[in-house]
A and B are shown apart, each in its own frame.
Chain A
Amino acid sequence: MNRDTDRQKLFTRRALMLGGGQALLTSVLLGRMYYLQVVEAPRYTTLAEENRISLRLLPPPRGRILDRHGRPLAVSRQTYRAVIVAEQTKGVAETLDTLSQLIEIGPADRERVLREVSRKRKFVPVTIRDDLSWDEVTRIEVNAPELPGVTIDEGQSRFYPYGADFAHVLGYVAAVAEHETTGDPLLELPGFRIGKSGIERTYDTILRGTGGRSQVEVNALGRVIRELSRTEGDPGADIVSTIDLDLQRMTSRRLEGESGSVVVMDVHAGEVLALASSPSFDPNTFNRGLRRDEWRELTGNIRAPLTNKAISGQYPPGSTFKMAVALAGLERGVITPHSRVFCRGHTSLGNHTFHCWKRGGHGSMNMHEGLVQSCDVYFYEVARRLGVDAIAEMSRRLGLGELVGIDLPGERPGLMPTREWKARSMGQPWHQGETLIAGIGQGYVLSTPLQLAVMTARFVNGGYQVTPRLTRNGDTTMAPSAAPQFPPLGVSATHVRLICDAMKDVVNGSRGTARGSMIREAGLEMGGKTGTSQVRRITRAERATGIRRNEDLPWNQRHHALFVGYAPVHAPRYAIAVVIEHGGGGSTAAAPVARDVLLAAQKLDSLRIAARPERPEPDRSRNDDPA
């Protein structure tokens, strides 16, 4: 009995120690619970939310691009694709069999679907086919009961209804490249497209809009359980371009088969109404992704369909440059309108002989006659008197030799040589002979068709520094914007008028070089200036300046044909520049194009003026009148 009491005492002691130990350990548990659920609760709450809530971006619809009258040039089109969710089908292969009786499913698509289904989780939708026609969509929808697990997904794709006609102005959209990511999560969405060239690129952020967000609850496998909240993004804004749909299409037609470009702009507002480059390409193909052979064809073509020649093509301006030389001569006082130079068909400087295009010579020439008949000897002499730096200074003011700043990517500056430029880039002194060559727009001088159009506009608008633009500065209203006030060039209005008169006679005068392209409709007459630049010289000049375009070389001996013009002559409204690469003479290849386009521009205009009264705007005009 005593022993048992001892044993009981020992047990009681040990049991109490055990109880104490249990109490201690239980306190540890409670303490840990307190730590996790009270002290650390905010952190873990956040983590739990991050676990269960997944943010999904909702891509905004891309804004449209409209022509100056509000007609769509680039739209986002609803596309439909068939997707399959494996877990909802009675068997993926069987479902595909049934579906292939309704829409065409190629063996490659079928294989891809089966492969993707086996790789992905069973609730992840797999695309069966993209770009279903509406007909196919309805066929699937009607048969939906027999096709469990097949659904139609809507998407957006860019569509250019006029295809190649606007390719260089609008540009195109394509998938985002790695280097283009900016941190905007939209750009990381699979299938997202951004503007790669043209207006699509310049105004990409406006057109793109901002993405919406959808908060969804997901489980540990990533399956969406429900949507918790949704913020709609802002759809991309429309861009109203200055392009005239009809004129652009007409211009593109007119250029078909040629390699060249045309720019038409409003001489007062700077609005570009047509800007075409030929050959072109279909921007719709970029949206779906080009095949390798298509890409090779586009990049390998020596006529460079991807290049926008109107802003990136650099050509010696040839005789179209003579107006700039003439204005420089008048402004610097080295000539007067009456100064005369005798053309014997050539002139010499040192032991070099410089030829006029007219072998027998023009005889005695004043400035007006020199321009109208495009006498080279007359301008050799003016250039000799001016020196190259004075020519360059005036050219710059007229918009040549530097970027004019149109809202398109890829514009090139051309080249206006000076003594300082030659010393810097070639380390050689300037030769006076080169001044003479520059005086007829050859040699080192390079300009883009856009620059030539701007130069012409600055002459015929009375001497204002108009700059071109393709959109109404993001102004998406349909109202024609007020002409911006451009600063004057700071030249004599009389001198400018003299040159415009000469340009009028180039086309309409009896001895004008472009009189074959005269517009005979009263009130729509065109003025202008032809130009023909020699390829051989270009080649040398380009080689020297290092901006030669290889794809031009195989066209060997033919000249570039140029024409700059304006219309109507009595109240200039439109300026045009036409360059036909290796087209021959300016008067035969370029001027007829300019004539047709300017005529079309004016006729379209009068059509609209005639149509306008039908639009009722009665009271507004009256109220605005007193001002």
Chain B
Amino acid sequence: MASAFDRQQLTLAQKFGQVRWTLLLLLTGIAGIGAAMLYSAANASFEPWAIRHIARFVISVGIMLAVAMTDIRFWLRHAYGIYLATLALLAAVEVMGSVGMGAQRWIDLGIINLQPSELMKIALVLALARYFHGVNVEHIGRVTVLVIPLALIAAPAALVLRQPDLGTALMLLLGGGLMLFAAGVRLWKFALLAAGAMIAAPIAWQSLHDYQRTRILTFLAPETDPLGAGYHIIQSKIALGSGGVFGKGYLQGTQSHLNFLPEKQTDFIFTMLAEEFGLVGGVVLIGIYVLILAYGFAIAFSSRHHFGRLLAIGVNITLFLYLFINVAMVMGLIPVVGVPLPLVSYGGTAMLSLMFGFGLTMSVWVHRDVPVPRRGVGDGL
């Protein structure tokens, strides 16, 4: 108890000493691989992607450390505020998007095109962690307890789906669902939810855009439309498969450099890596991710407060969903839904959100022994 008391008033220096540099090193490794692949994607040029990727990462590391240094109770206190602010941005995008043409997913801030949907992934984790932190273990079984978190999940998911951004909506739903699971919601309720989803599926199908339906249909048989909707996934599989065990060598990927591979700087960057570095390169990259995930679990288990546990596990889940959906997508296991590979794909907001998330994880570690009251301290909400 004494140490917990001590950590209530940690000095900045003490906090700095607590930062897990290994985790930062692993993250830097991933971002470095990303920069190298972006350099290759631009045909051996730092312009236009690699240089910005590096710059953004440097800024993101600063933000991450700042978040990590910030008291965990601050984040608890402002969890809902951050969530609501992000939701407002999302709604703003929706309004602007309906004014403009087609799918608009970002707010142009000049230096960065802010995608509120990416930020929402972390904001949702924050809000859910805050909510379940305040729920007693014996109350978790009540159905009424689930109303608020389900609303927290459904509101942004609905907005994102209207944009329409199937990938992010899927991530919000899955991420939120897994947070509920981690928080202890009974398994049979998930079964019930799944059954409900089954019933809702035909209705959802009706509300999907044509291109989204096509994506799902061609996912089932991409070879039926080799020049159209199936082209991306076929070319991606060819690139991966032709990479073999050791790859074609850095900058030597024929599929990617001859432009057979689409979107190689964003969603399909894993394919490019696997083409140039083969199975070995892919396994190494996934291995680093696994280490980061393991770190996340360790930090979650180390936290003395439930908020910290849920926060760390939530960031962990988010990272894993990014990774799994992206890699499974480029390998033709699931439909092409447009989810970037975390810290590797070119894209500012996704990187910023994730690094913000890891800042929170780090903050959990730094403040693992800080006692956090059930209700937020002097709740500013």
> Which residues on A are within 8 Å of B, measured CB to CB?
3-4, 6-8, 10-12, 14-15, 17-19, 22, 25-26, 28-30, 32-34, 36-38, 40-41, 43-45, 47-49, 51-52, 217-221, 225
Q: Which of B102-110, B150-158, B237-245 contacts A (4 or more CB under 8 A)?
A: B237-245
Asked whether, in the complex, the Cβ of A41 is within 8 Å of the Cβ of B137, the reply is: no
Identify which of B138, B241, B286, B300 contacts A37 (C-beta below 8 A).
B241
> Once bound together, how far apart are the Cα atoms of A583 and B137, in whole Å?
122
- Say what secondary structure dominates the interface of chain A: helix
Asked whether, in the complex, the Cβ of A33 is within 8 Å of the Cβ of B282, the reply is: yes
> Once bound together, how far apart are the Cα atoms of A34 and B184, in whole Å?
35
Identify which of A33, A48, A217 contacts B242 (C-beta below 8 A).
A48
Asked whether, in the complex, the Cβ of A33 is within 8 Å of the Cβ of B182, the reply is: no
Residues of B within 8 A of A225 (CB): 258
> Once bound together, how far apart are the Cα atoms of A225 and B260, in whole Å?
13
> Once bound together, how far apart are the Cα atoms of A351 and B270, in whole Å?
105
Asked whether, in the complex, the Cβ of A11 is within 8 Å of the Cβ of B255, the reply is: no
> Once bound together, how far apart are the Cα atoms of A457 and B367, in whole Å?
118
CB-contacts of B282-332 with A (<8 A): 282-283, 286, 290, 293, 297, 300-301, 306, 309-310, 313, 316-317, 320, 324, 327-328, 331
Asked whether, in the complex, the Cβ of B306 is within 8 Å of the Cβ of A11, the reply is: yes
* With known contacts A18-B317, A19-B297, A51–B238 Cβ distance under 8 A: yes
CB nearest neighbor in A for B293: A22
Residues of A within 8 A of B333 (CB): 28-29, 32
Residues of A within 8 A of B320 (CB): 22, 25
> Once bound together, how far apart are the Cα atoms of A47 and B309, in whole Å?
48
> Once bound together, how far apart are the Cα atoms of A360 and B352, in whole Å?
123
Asked whether, in the complex, the Cβ of B286 is within 8 Å of the Cβ of A47, the reply is: no
Beyond known contacts A15-B301, A36-B240: 18 more, CB 8 A cutoff: A7-B306, A8-B306, A10-B184, A11-B310, A15-B309, A18-B313, A19-B293, A29-B286, A29-B324, A32-B328, A33-B282, A33-B331, A36-B241, A37-B241, A37-B278, A40-B241, A219-B258, A220-B259
The reply on B181 being an interface residue by CB < 8 A is yes
* With known contacts A36-B240, A44-B237, A26–B290 Cβ distance under 8 A: yes
> Which residues on B are within 8 Å of A, measured CB to CB?
136-138, 140, 178, 181-184, 235, 237-245, 254-255, 258-260, 274, 278-279, 282-283, 286, 290, 293, 297, 300-301, 306, 309-310, 313, 316-317, 320, 324, 327-328, 331, 333
CB nearest neighbor in B for A9: B137
Cβ of A6 to closest chain B Cβ, rounded Å: 5
Pick 8 A–B contacts, CB within 8 A, sort by A.
A4-B137, A14-B184, A15-B309, A22-B324, A29-B331, A34-B279, A38-B245, A220-B259
Asked whether, in the complex, the Cβ of B328 is within 8 Å of the Cβ of A51, the reply is: no
Cβ of A24 to closest chain B Cβ, rounded Å: 11
* With known contacts A18-B178, A48-B254, A41–B260 Cβ distance under 8 A: no
CB nearest neighbor in B for A50: B238
> Once bound together, how far apart are the Cα atoms of A22 and B306, in whole Å?
21
Residues of B within 8 A of A37 (CB): 240-241, 243-245, 274, 278-279, 282
Residues of B within 8 A of A45 (CB): 241-242, 244
**Most interface-central of B254, B300, B306, B317 (chain A CB within 10 A):** B254
Cβ of B368 to closest chain A Cβ, rounded Å: 13
Cβ of B43 to closest chain A Cβ, rounded Å: 11
Asked whether, in the complex, the Cβ of A220 is within 8 Å of the Cβ of B258, the reply is: yes
Identify which of A15, A25, A48 contacts B297 (C-beta below 8 A).
A15
CB nearest neighbor in B for A17: B181
Cβ of A461 to closest chain B Cβ, rounded Å: 69
Asked whether, in the complex, the Cβ of B260 is within 8 Å of the Cβ of A36, the reply is: no
> Once bound together, how far apart are the Cα atoms of A239 and B137, in whole Å?
99
Asked whether, in the complex, the Cβ of B331 is within 8 Å of the Cβ of A38, the reply is: no
> Once bound together, how far apart are the Cα atoms of A51 and B260, in whole Å?
8
> Once bound together, how far apart are the Cα atoms of A34 and B245, in whole Å?
8
Residues of A within 8 A of B138 (CB): 3
Asked whether, in the complex, the Cβ of B283 is within 8 Å of the Cβ of A33, the reply is: yes
Asked whether, in the complex, the Cβ of B240 is within 8 Å of the Cβ of A38, the reply is: no
* With known contacts A18-B182, A44-B238, A45-B241, A52–B331 Cβ distance under 8 A: no
Identify which of B136, B258, B309, B327 contacts A51 (C-beta below 8 A).
B258
Asked whether, in the complex, the Cβ of A30 is within 8 Å of the Cβ of B258, the reply is: no
Cβ of A573 to closest chain B Cβ, rounded Å: 68
> Once bound together, how far apart are the Cα atoms of A180 and B139, in whole Å?
85
